[in-house]
Structure 1
Amino acid sequence: MSGQGAPADVEVDGTGLRVALVAARWHTQIMDGLLAGARKALQDTGVADVVEIRVPGSFELPVAAARLAPTVDAVVALGVVIRGSTPHFDYVCSAATDGLTQVSVQTGTPVGFGVLTVDNEGQAIDRAGLHGSREDKGREAVFAALETAVALREVAPR
């Protein structure tokens, strides 16, 4: 399971932070779980200022993140790419990963990477934070983005 060795949630105070939640629409059931976990994590950490935008798929996440990154303290990107029988999976995964990395590095805005890249729907459901799932990658992506934003705010305020 990919979650082995993951750090435990730390106490993060997101009070006063502005966060963009950028989510794909493909794979509705899985996305509903990821979004629910992310929204709950934002609420649990005290983030009240949330901009939420939906885009068609994971390929479109980087452009939305790039537009929003300069206006927020952190971006959380959520999506699902399930392997099929063509190379399309590889192209979309690479574009989403590389694009979101570029957004983070070029803007200095932390991006929580909550894009599931899996071989089958069962693996995605197991990571989506749904009832019976073993992991909640939406929640994890929020904590990664917020923990980084708080750490950067302390040493290099904008």
Structure 2
Amino acid sequence: MSGAGAPEVQVVDGTGLRVGVVAATWHAEVMGGLKDGVSRALSACGVTDVTLLEVPGSFELPVAAARMAAAGYDAVVALGVVVRGGTPHFDYVCAGATQGLVEVSVRTGVPVGFGLLTCDTVEQALDRAGLPGSSEDKGFEAAAAAVATAGALHHLPTHTPAALIG
């Protein structure tokens, strides 16, 4: 199980934070569960200023997350699901989306909650989507992590030396 060894999800006070959620539209049932998990987490954290932006697929998540970060959101949550098929497409989409989301976070200093499921089967995705009967709730986890990171970074200076961002 992928969740083995994971710490308990911490819900922190996110009152006053502005959070952007960018969600792919592939695999509607899985995405519905992920978005519901994000809503539950943000509500538990006291976040009320939330904007949802839907994009066609997971490959489009980084550009939308970058735009949200540039627009002044305190945190962004990226949601998507890619299911392995019979071609290398899976590897390219997963690697590109993951690297893009990391780059957004590092270059902007805005936390990006990683809710991109990269699964071998639809069943694995459903089991991580936070649906009734799922063993994990990755949408909740991604949102809680983004809010917690935004809170942890709140008191640090925002200036990043150029050497760190290439």
TM-score band by shorter chain is over 0.9
2:132 — aligned with what? 131
Superposition pairs for residues 137-152 of structure 1, below 5 Å? 137-152=138-153
1:92 — aligned with what? 93
1:64 — aligned with what? 64
Task: Give TM-score, length-normalised by structure 2.
Answer: 0.93
Check if 1:75 corresponds to 2:76: yes
Name the CA distance, whole Å, in 2 between partners of 1:133 and 1:10.
19
Give the superposed CA RMSD. 1.0
Amino acid at match of 1:117: T
1:105 — aligned with what? 106
Structure 1: 4+ residue segments shifted above 2 A: 154-158
Amino acid at match of 1:6: A
Name the CA distance, whole Å, in 1 between partners of 2:80 and 2:6.
20
Check if 1:42 corresponds to 2:37: no
1:120 — aligned with what? 121
Residue pair 2:11, 2:44 contacting (<8 A) in 1 also: no
**Which deviates more from structure 2 when the two are superposed, residues 4-13 or residues 46-55?**
4-13
Return the offset for 1:44: 1.0
Structure 1: runs of 5+ lacking an equivalent: none
Deviations 1:45-72 (A, max 9, x none): 1000001100000000000000011210
Q: Percent identity?
A: 63
Name the CA distance, whole Å, in 2 between partners of 1:46 and 1:139.
14
Deviations 1:15-65 (A, max 9, x none): 000000000000000000000000111111100000110000000000000
1:8 — aligned with what? 8
